């Protein structure tokens, strides 16, 4: 399997809104009039409730748990002995607790616990010894007597209050469903600034103009300049569009509201439009503010596309967004900053001047920008002196900022696994292999036949990548299973923005190398070339249909991408070309593939000895670099020259 470079994207045209009216910011700074600014009474702490409940419990049940008896504790037998001796002066018997307390003749107090009722003999003994005794029944606590009456009532009242509170909460959530879910940020949160965004100086300059206008509007008003109402950040995923928005929030010094496109969508029609109105109302209260809408394509898609009647909720939300940005009521002092990686699906009314006046392309970073991004993500890491970030930046073409951040993190993880305290160059190499080619499949073991077939397959790719004149430089080739592949040939594409027909022909020829090598060596084919054929066919199809690289078709192009919305192609006139043209297109695609397959067969036959040496090296070392492959091919060529120039010997 060989890694093929991604086909170059078609040139995108950015509409320029020169000469279109922009909104002038004349609103003064206003203070927000939200209810949260009013001084409310502080809520009662929760501990107060528990303290009051504890006091009630003590008052209600404390008399039952705290005994009123004092003095020396004696047994009932000892009490009778004291009475019989005449040492007891006076006793008091509690009818509720059966506690007998009294005083001896010497003034000592005592207490004991008797039976529920005194026996006749014990009572006669008290009378005979002249002991002054009486029976007391303590009065019940009034609070205790009320609890059995009011407790069920309080329980029922509590249930009704809980049900009412839940009902009010549900009603409140229903009433607030149309409120905006935007998150406001202060000037110091988030702390990201333009200094934290590496590279992209042109993007920074265009966005910084809007920030400067909001912070210093008088400077622009002196010469009549007006800031765009809307700025659309367009670029592939992971290029830092949201990071730019966070930097604007940290640099602006004005109100900043962040929201995603999905926050407007609900199952109820009209909720999204209500949230849009509430969002712009919040922004107007701030005087000058920036609204950031991430993934705006979720609500800004073309209206009326697809089968049926469309998505009413999304279209109503989009209509309200259009009206708020440049409708009958102007939104002065409010700038909308949006991000998307699908500008082709946005409604034309959203992109016209007066709404999103400026589109800023955030492309994949170049080599210098990748180096700056790697430095940003490595500044809080412990780096070794041999970790060459400049070489790693050149070896990672096509990676976005998010990919580079993941690369640095993977390198740190590999360093930890090795037991190292610093991130070294080998960690970056392993991390790049992990990110680009996938993880090693240690559990997959190839038998001898499959391993030999894989070695010649990848050797065919490697030889063609080395000898073809327009191919990308070969980086390394391996027969170790990674990801879904049994082996990988990895080339490093050079920094380029346009591609020639010769380049694509070499790419297709290299993709055919694995299949052709197996056919030359083993005389049969297997299923290992499925991915190679898929990529080669895709490139050949685009050469014929989109890039005009076929002499038979000529300078004509048909969009090879599928329609964005299901059913949109049914609303148009159908296929753009006739059946004869379709047959000619198929013939041209087949011709290109067969020609490059034949070319690969001729080149590999010429370098058969080099192919054998590369395959043997792969079987022995499992992974070799591009320099080793070039050396082996040159060695085979030198041996062939020596064998040709050697004088023939006779058999006399």
Q: Under CATH, to which class is 367-437 assigned? A: mainly alpha
Which CATH architecture does the domain made up of 63-136 adopt? 2-Layer Sandwich (3.30)
Rounded distance, CA 530 to CA 170, Å?
Answer: 57
Place 188 in a pLDDT band, splitting at 50, 70 and 90. very low
Give the 3-state secondary structure of residue 563.
coil
The encoded tokens of residue 556 equal 């004509």
Rounded distance, CA 339 to CA 240, Å?
Answer: 10
What is the per-residue pLDDT for 179? 57
For residue 576, give the nearest of 553, 551, 593, 592 by alpha carbon.
Answer: 553
Rounded distance, CA 26 to CA 218, Å?
Answer: 10
Q: Which has the minimum average pLDDT: 103-107, 136-140, 283-287, 545-549? A: 136-140
For the cut 70, the answer to whether the pLDDT of residue 279 exceeds it is yes
Angle (nearest 5°) at CA 421 between 420 and 426: 50
Which CATH architecture does the domain made up of 448-645 adopt? Up-down Bundle (1.20)
What radius of gyration, in Å, describes the C-alpha atoms of the chain? 43
- Annotated active-site residue 218? The verdict is no
For residue 387, give the nearest of 367, 414, 369 by alpha carbon.
Answer: 414
- Residues spanned by CATH 1.20.58.760 within the chain? 448-645
491: left (phi over 0), alpha (psi -120 to 50) or beta: beta
What is the per-residue pLDDT for 541? 94
Give the 3-state secondary structure of residue 487.
coil
* Dihedral sign for Cα atoms in the order 52, 58, 61, 63: negative
**Cβ contacts of residue 3 below 8 Å, gap of 6+?**
436, 437, 488, 489, 490, 491
For residue 608, give the nearest of 475, 487, 486, 519 by alpha carbon.
Answer: 519
pLDDT digits 0-9 by tens, 58-83: 665 555 545 455 668 888 888 888 88
For the cut 60, the answer to whether the pLDDT of residue 274 exceeds it is yes
Question: Greater confidence, 456 or 238?
Answer: 456
Residue of 315, 410, 458, 518 with catalytic role: 458
C-alpha distances in Å from residue 79, one per residue of 70, 102, 181: 15, 10, 79
What is the per-residue pLDDT for 592? 95
pLDDT digits 0-9 by tens, 144-159: 666 667 777 777 877 8
C-alpha distances in Å from residue 390, one per residue of 92, 178, 395, 422: 100, 51, 9, 18
Contact 608, 563 (CB under 8 A): no
Contact 593, 506 (CB under 8 A): no
Within a 13 Å sphere around the CA of 185, how many CA atoms are in the beta-carbon half?
22
For the cut 90, the answer to whether the pLDDT of residue 538 exceeds it is yes
**Cβ contacts of residue 191 below 8 Å, gap of 6+?**
250
Contact 24, 226 (CB under 8 A): yes
What is the pTM (predicted TM-score) of this model? 0.65
Place 219 in a pLDDT band, splitting at 50, 70 and 90. confident
pLDDT digits 0-9 by tens, 86-143: 888 888 887 777 788 888 888 788 888 877 677 777 777 877 777 887 777 766 666 6
Report the CATH fold assignment for 180-361. Rossmann fold (3.40.50)
Residues β-bridged to residue 104: 88
Q: What average pLDDT does the segment 336-344 reach?
A: 86
Rounded distance, CA 536 to CA 508, Å?
Answer: 5
For the cut 90, the answer to whether the pLDDT of residue 612 exceeds it is yes
Rounded distance, CA 448 to CA 307, Å?
Answer: 55
pLDDT digits 0-9 by tens, 305-325: 554 444 567 777 787 878 887
Question: Greater confidence, 303 or 607?
Answer: 607
- Residues spanned by CATH 3.40.50.300 within the chain? 180-361
For the cut 50, the answer to whether the pLDDT of residue 220 exceeds it is yes
Neighbours of 63 (CB within 10 A): 16
Q: Which has the minimum average pLDDT: 170-184, 198-212, 268-282? A: 170-184
Rounded distance, CA 64 to CA 58, Å?
Answer: 10
Give the mean pLDDT of the chain.
77
For the cut 60, the answer to whether the pLDDT of residue 364 exceeds it is yes
What is the per-residue pLDDT for 573? 46
| Percent of the chain with pLDDT strictly greater than 90 | 19
Rounded distance, CA 324 to CA 273, Å?
Answer: 10
Rounded distance, CA 345 to CA 302, Å?
Answer: 6
C-alpha distances in Å from residue 464, one per residue of 397, 513, 578, 634: 21, 7, 38, 13
Contact 85, 125 (CB under 8 A): no
3-state helix, strand, coil in the chain (%, to 5): 50, 10, 40
What is the per-residue pLDDT for 615? 93
Q: What average pLDDT does the segment 27-33 reach?
A: 38
- Residues spanned by CATH 1.10.8.60 within the chain? 367-437
What is the per-residue pLDDT for 56? 67
- Residues spanned by CATH 3.30.720.210 within the chain? 63-136
Rounded distance, CA 527 to CA 104, Å?
Answer: 111
What is the per-residue pLDDT for 84? 80
**Cβ contacts of residue 486 below 8 Å, gap of 6+?**
1, 444, 446, 450, 454, 479, 528
Rounded distance, CA 461 to CA 472, Å?
Answer: 12
Contact 262, 298 (CB under 8 A): yes
What are the counts of helices (DSSP H) followed by strands (DSSP E) for the chain?
21, 14
C-alpha distances in Å from residue 45, one per residue of 49, 162, 387, 545: 8, 19, 57, 73
What is the per-residue pLDDT for 28? 36
Rounded distance, CA 216 to CA 288, Å?
Answer: 11
DSSP per position, 380-438: TS-B-TT--HHHHHHT-TT--HHHHHHHHHHHHHHHHHHT-SSB-HHHHHHHHHHHHH-
* b (16+ CB within 10 A) / e for 298-312: bbbbbbebbeeeebe
**Cβ contacts of residue 249 below 8 Å, gap of 6+?**
185, 189, 190, 192, 256, 258, 290, 292
The encoded tokens of residue 619 equal 């079987």
Q: Which has the minimum average pLDDT: 309-323, 400-414, 522-536? A: 309-323
| Percent of the chain with pLDDT strictly greater than 70 | 75
Q: Which has the minimum average pLDDT: 445-449, 538-542, 607-611? A: 445-449
């Amino acid at each position: 399997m060989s890694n093929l470079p991604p086909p170059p994207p078609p040139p995108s045209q950015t509409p320029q809104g020169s000469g279109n009216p922009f909104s002038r910011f004349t609103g003064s700074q206003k203070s927000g009039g939200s209810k949260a600014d009013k001084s409310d009474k502080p809520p009662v702490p929760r501990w107060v409730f528990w303290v009051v409940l504890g006091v009630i419990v003590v008052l209600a049940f404390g008399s039952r748990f705290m005994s009123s008896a004092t003095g020396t504790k004696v047994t009932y037998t000892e009490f009778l002995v004291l009475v019989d001796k005449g040492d007891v002066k006076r006793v008091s018997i509690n009818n509720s607790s059966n506690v007998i307390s009294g005083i001896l003749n010497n003034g000592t107090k005592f207490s004991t616990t008797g039976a529920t009722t005194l026996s006749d003999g014990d009572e006669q003994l008290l009378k005979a010894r002249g002991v002054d005794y009486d029976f007391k029944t303590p009065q019940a606590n009034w609070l205790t007597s009320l609890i059995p009456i009011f407790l069920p009532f309080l329980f029922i009242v509590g249930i009704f209050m809980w049900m009412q509170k839940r009902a009010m909460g549900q009603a409140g959530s229903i009433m607030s469903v149309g409120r905006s879910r935007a998150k406001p940020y202060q000037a110091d949160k988030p702390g990201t600034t333009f200094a934290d965004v590496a590279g992209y100086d042109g993007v920074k300059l265009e966005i910084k103009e809007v920030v400067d206008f909001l912070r210093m509007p008088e400077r622009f008003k002196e010469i009549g300049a007006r800031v765009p109402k809307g700025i659309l950040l367009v670029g592939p995923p992971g290029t830092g569009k949201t990071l730019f928005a966070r930097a604007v929030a940290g640099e602006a010094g004005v109100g900043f509201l962040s929201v995603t496109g999905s926050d407007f969508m609900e199952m109820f029609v009209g909720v999204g439009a209500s949230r849009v109105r509430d969002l712009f109302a919040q922004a107007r209260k701030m005087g000058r503010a920036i609204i950031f809408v991430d993934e705006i394509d979720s609500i800004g898609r073309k209206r009326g596309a697809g089968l049926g009647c469309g998505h009413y909720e999304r279209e109503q939300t989009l209509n309200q967004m259009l009206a708020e940005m440049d409708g009958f009521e102007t939104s002065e002092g409010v700038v909308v900053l949006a991000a998307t990686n699908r500008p082709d699906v946005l409604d034309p009314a959203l992109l016209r001047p007066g709404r999103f006046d400026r589109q800023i392309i955030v492309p994949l970073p170049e080599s210098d920008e990748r180096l700056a991004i790697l430095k940003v993500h490595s500044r809080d890491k412990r780096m070794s002196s041999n970790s060459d970030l400049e070489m790693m930046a050149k070896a990672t073409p096509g990676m976005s900022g998010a990919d580079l951040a993941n690369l640095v993190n993977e390198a740190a993880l590999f360093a930890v696994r090795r037991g190292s305290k610093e991130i070294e160059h080998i960690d970056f190499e392993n991390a790049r292999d992990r990110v680009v080619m996938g993880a090693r499949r240690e559990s997959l073991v190839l038998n001898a036949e499959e391993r030999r077939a894989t070695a010649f397959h990848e050797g065919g790719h490697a030889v063609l990548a080395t000898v073809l004149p327009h191919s990308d430089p070969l980086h390394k080739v391996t027969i170790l299973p990674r990801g879904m592949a049994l082996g990988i040939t990895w080339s490093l594409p050079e920094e380029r923005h346009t591609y020639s027909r010769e380049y694509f022909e070499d790419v297709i020829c290299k993709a055919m190398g694995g299949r052709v090598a197996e056919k030359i060596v083993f005389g049969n084919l297997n299923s290992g070339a499925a991915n190679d054929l898929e990529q080669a066919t895709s490139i050949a199809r685009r050469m014929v249909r989109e890039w005009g690289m076929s002499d038979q078709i000529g300078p004509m192009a048909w969009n090879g991408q599928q329609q964005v919305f299901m059913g949109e192609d049914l609303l148009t006139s159908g296929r753009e070309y006739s059946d004869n043209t379709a047959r000619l297109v198929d013939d041209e695609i087949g011709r290109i593939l067969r020609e490059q397959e034949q070319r690969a067969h001729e080149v590999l036959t010429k370098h058969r000895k080099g192919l054998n040496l590369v395959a043997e090296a792969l079987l022995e070392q499992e992974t070799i670099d591009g320099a080793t492959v070039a050396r082996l091919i040159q060695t085979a060529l030198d041996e062939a020259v020596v064998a040709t120039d050697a004088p023939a010997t006779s058999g006399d």
